[in-house]
């Protein structure tokens, strides 16, 4: 009897409030805050982002200060030609040295990088916006799908490089000609990719639910479909921007890219290729910078894409 009494003392009837069971104690979730937190939880991202910011600042600020032109003003000043990196001449410090025309390699590289970056940003901005919009409707409407799939089959069977090369031969070399060459058919691959993603999520149940609530198609696209594609779009961007830089370098290298009056990484590499044996630094420094630009863009883009996928936001 005493034992039982003891038990009664030990146990107290718990107070059961059902509203307590519904409470969520985790802190409030915010998408973009989580993206930032997830991105900076990786140490390598600090490095990649740092490199990218330095590259961007140098290539947009340095050309304004250095006054680099492709006219080769020092071509007759033989003393200035092909100075090794780190030389001081006439009170001016040449960190990367000078080239065979007596131009500062440092100034030439950032002027070239600026052109290449602007080209890549313009081309990918055009291709991405056209591609995403067309892709969204392509995936959403079955009638559009029929026509667009045929168009895609025809265009995608022409090799991109071949098309761009032929186009550049016809249109002539130049910055805007190159932008046109890259964007006339470049968007269709992106649109096709987005179309596939839209088809995957188009018939999910939450979209049916929205239809039952009378949601209009533009609202469906902006609220139900595009938010799901954020990380896909960022992934695409991180692939597209570096690839346009590579295309520019490649096309200028084979001589069909940007004209001689505009500085660009590709044209520079082509021009310096002849010095590869005698003065390797003249060739390899621009190549290394081109690689740094594309790699840092790619790493930052890829990791940003990972971070923008909510699956990585779970603690």
Partner 1 sequence: MPNNKEVVLSLKNINIVFKQGKKKFHAVHDCSFDIYKGETFSLVGESGSGKTTIGRAIVRINQLESGEIIYKGKKISGQIPKEEDRQVIRNIQMIFQDPASSLNERATVDYIVSEGLYNFHLYKSEEDRLNKVTKAMESVGLLPEHITRYPHEFSGGQRQRIGIARSIVMEPEFIVADEPISALDVSIRAQVLNLLKQFQVERGLTYLFIAHDLSVVRFISDRIAVIHKGRIVELAESEELFNFPLHPYTHSLMSAIPIPDPILEKKKKLFTYDGSEHDYSVDKPSWVEIKPGHFIFANEKEKEIYKKKIQERKIHNEEFEKK
Binding site for partner 1 (CB under 8 A): 18-19, 22-24, 26, 28-29, 31, 204-206, 208-216, 219, 223-224, 227-228, 310
For partner 1, give the closer residue by CB, 75 or 209. Answer: 209
Minimum CB–partner distance for residue 165 and partner 1 (Å): 40
Dihedral sign (CA 254, 240, 144, 157) = positive
CB atoms within 10 A of CB 84: 12
Cα-flanking dihedrals φ and ψ of residue 88, to 5°? -105, 125
Would you tell me the crossing angle of helices 160-171 and 175-184 to the nearest 10 degrees?
Answer: 140
For partner 1, give the closer residue by CB, 45 or 224. Answer: 224
Helix (H) or strand (E) holding 88: strand 87-89
Minimum CB–partner distance for residue 274 and partner 1 (Å): 54
22: tokens are 């519904």
Minimum CB–partner distance for residue 224 and partner 1 (Å): 6
Closest to 80 (Cα-Cα) out of 55, 104, 44, 57? 104
Segment 175-180 long-range contacts (CB within 8 Å, at least 24 positions apart): 175/115, 175/119, 175/258, 175/259, 175/262, 178/119, 178/123, 178/248, 178/251, 178/257, 178/258, 179/119, 179/122, 179/123, 179/126
For partner 1, give the closer residue by CB, 72 or 209. Answer: 209
For partner 1, give the closer residue by CB, 3 or 205. Answer: 205
Minimum CB–partner distance for residue 24 and partner 1 (Å): 6
For partner 1, give the closer residue by CB, 42 or 211. Answer: 211
Residue 52 near residue 58 (C-beta atoms within 8 A): no
For partner 1, give the closer residue by CB, 11 or 32. Answer: 32
For partner 1, give the closer residue by CB, 34 or 66. Answer: 34
DSSP codes, 295-311: HHHHHHHHHHHHHTSGG
Minimum CB–partner distance for residue 235 and partner 1 (Å): 17
In the three-class reduction of DSSP (H, G, I as helix; E, B as strand; rest coil), residue 104 is classed as strand
């Amino acid at each position: 009897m005493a034992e039982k009494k003891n038990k009664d003392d030990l146990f107290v009837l718990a107070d059961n409030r059902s509203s307590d069971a519904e409470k969520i104690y985790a802190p409030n979730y915010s998408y973009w805050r989580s993206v930032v937190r997830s991105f900076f939880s990786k140490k390598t991202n600090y490095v990649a982002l740092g490199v990218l910011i330095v590259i961007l600042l140098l290539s947009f600020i340095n050309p304004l200060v250095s006054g680099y032109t492709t006219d080769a003003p020092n071509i007759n000043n033989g003393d200035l030609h092909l100075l090794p990196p780190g030389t001081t001449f006439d009170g001016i410090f040449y960190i990367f040295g000078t080239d065979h025309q007596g131009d500062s390699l440092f100034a030439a590289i950032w002027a070239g990088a600026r052109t290449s970056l602007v080209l890549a940003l313009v081309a990918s901005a055009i291709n991405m916006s056209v591609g995403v919009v067309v892709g969204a409707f392509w995936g959403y409407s079955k009638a559009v799908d029929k026509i667009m799939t045929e168009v895609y089959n025809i265009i995608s069977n022409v090799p991109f490089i071949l098309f761009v090369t032929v186009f550049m031969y016809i249109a002539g070399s130049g910055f805007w000609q190159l932008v046109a060459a890259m964007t006339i058919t470049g968007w269709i691959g992106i649109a096709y990719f987005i179309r596939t993603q839209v088809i995957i999520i188009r018939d999910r149940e939450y979209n049916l639910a929205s239809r039952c609530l009378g949601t209009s198609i533009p609202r469906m696209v902006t609220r139900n479909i595009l938010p799901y594609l954020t990380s896909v779009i960022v992934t695409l961007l991180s692939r597209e921007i570096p690839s346009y830089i590579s295309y520019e370098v490649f096309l200028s290298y084979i001589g069909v890219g940007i004209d001689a009056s505009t500085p660009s990484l590709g044209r520079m590499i082509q021009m310096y290729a002849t010095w590869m044996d005698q003065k390797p630094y003249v060739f390899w420094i621009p190549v290394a910078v081109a690689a740094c630009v594309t790699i840092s863009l790619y790493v930052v883009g890829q990791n940003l894409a990972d971070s923008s996928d909510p699956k990585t936001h779970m603690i």
